[in-house]
Amino acid sequence: MSAVSARTLDAAIEWQLCLDSGTVSAEQQHAFAQWLAAQPEHAQVWQQLNGLDIRLASAAAAPARQALLHSARKNGVRRLAGTALGLLLAGGLLLGLLAQQRPLGDYLADERTARGEQRELQLTDRSRVRLNSASAVDIDFSADQRAIRLRSGEILVQTAHGDTRPFVVLTEHGRLRALGTRFLVRREGDSTRLTVLQSAVAAQSVEGATERIIEAGEQVLMQRRRLGGVLPAPLSAAAWSHGMLVADNLRLSDLLEALGEYRSGYLGLDPSLAELRISGSFPLHDSDKALAALPPSLPVRIEQFGKWWTRVVPAQ
């Protein structure tokens, strides 16, 4: 994706959040219309983004959401102690709490975010680093280089101009050297994913002999011994920095895994539903609203017991 497309996507997401707020003024509506008509690319990106949108905005969807929320309140946990259901829920809650644990080293990091939290840092060189949910970094600026070590999670980096020291992001899998750029770095198990939004990044694995240049609009998975093949970067790769998750034919299991990174408690899925596909834009910081958008589009229902146990199961 080119730098212009990245800026246009950012603007489109900002407009979507504004229009969804429910308090849009006539001046804002007029400004949005002017922005949409200003360039063909604006209309193209807006159509791509909202062509995926499955928000419950129609009259038919509103009752479904109200019924779901009423059901969730009605099915609150009651006198579960000593019952088989109580044991089952207790086990589910325990698993959820264990899933939220993070490496001990994260608590020793220079900067970290809790589950569901995002935070932006402005560094001493005026570069900006945005931490995604449950992320941890160390910052080490010296006379020779500007270094960020990503311990866990994901960051969005926007480097500043005018500083001649190399700007690098380090993980246990390798080294990423910014070439005047905007890019994402995400820890994924035994790999690190690099997504370049603007300019380019030089990537080198721990055991690799040479750097490889990854250009804007590309992504690559880096392991200690090798760099994977270069793939196109998703248009919506940085949507999380605006509080949105944009899914394009995404597996339901992958969607719930992503939403679970912003939600406390247990969020489960019946295995028979894992391969269902979903497209849409979902608010990351209101996962209840995101989950409520599923039943109108998929043969599923939401089971919820209090605030800490939620499961997506087949519709009856």
pLDDT digits (tens, 9 = 90+) for 174-184: 999 999 899 99
CATH number of 119-232: 2.60.120.1440
Percent of the chain, pLDDT > 70?
79
d(CA 290, CA 239): 15
Mean of all residue pLDDT scores within the chain: 81
Class of domain 61-100+243-314: alpha beta
What pLDDT was estimated at residue 224?
93
Query: What is the location of CATH 2.60.120.1440 in the chain?
Result: 119-232
Q: Phi/psi at 53 (nearest 5 deg)?
A: -75, 125
Instruction: pLDDT band for 53, please (50, 70, 90 cuts).
Output: very low
Name the token pair of 262: 């912003």
Give the pair of three-digit tokens for residue 208.
């690799």
The predicted-structure confidence for 149-166, as pLDDT tens digits, reads as follows 999 999 999 999 889 999
Q: Which residue has the higher pLDDT, 89 or 241?
A: 241
Tens digit of pLDDT for each residue in 82-139? 444 444 444 444 444 444 456 777 888 999 999 889 999 999 999 999 999 999 999 9
Q: Please report the pLDDT score of residue 50 as a whole number.
A: 56
pLDDT band at 14 (very low <50, low <70, confident <90, very high): confident
What whole-number distance in Å separates Cα of residue 235 and Cα of residue 230?
Answer: 15
CA–CA gap between residue 142 and residue 160 (Å, rounded)? 16
Closest by CA position to 215, among listed 187, 178, 188, 246: 178
Tell me the Ramachandran region of residue 161: left when phi exceeds 0, alpha when psi lies from -120 to 50, beta otherwise. beta
Bigger pLDDT: 77 vs 316: 316
CA–CA dist 291, 300 (Å, integer): 10
Strand order in the sheet with 111-112: 111-112, 136-141, 146-152, 167-171, 174-178, 200-205, 212-215
CATH 3.55.50.30 domain span(s) along the chain? 61-100+243-314
Q: What percent of the chain has pLDDT over 90?
A: 55
Q: Which pLDDT band, with edges at 50, 70 and 90, does 22 fall under?
A: low
Residue 197, both tokens: 């939004």
The predicted structure's pLDDT at residue 80: 36
**What local confidence, expressed as pLDDT, does residue 38 receive?**
87
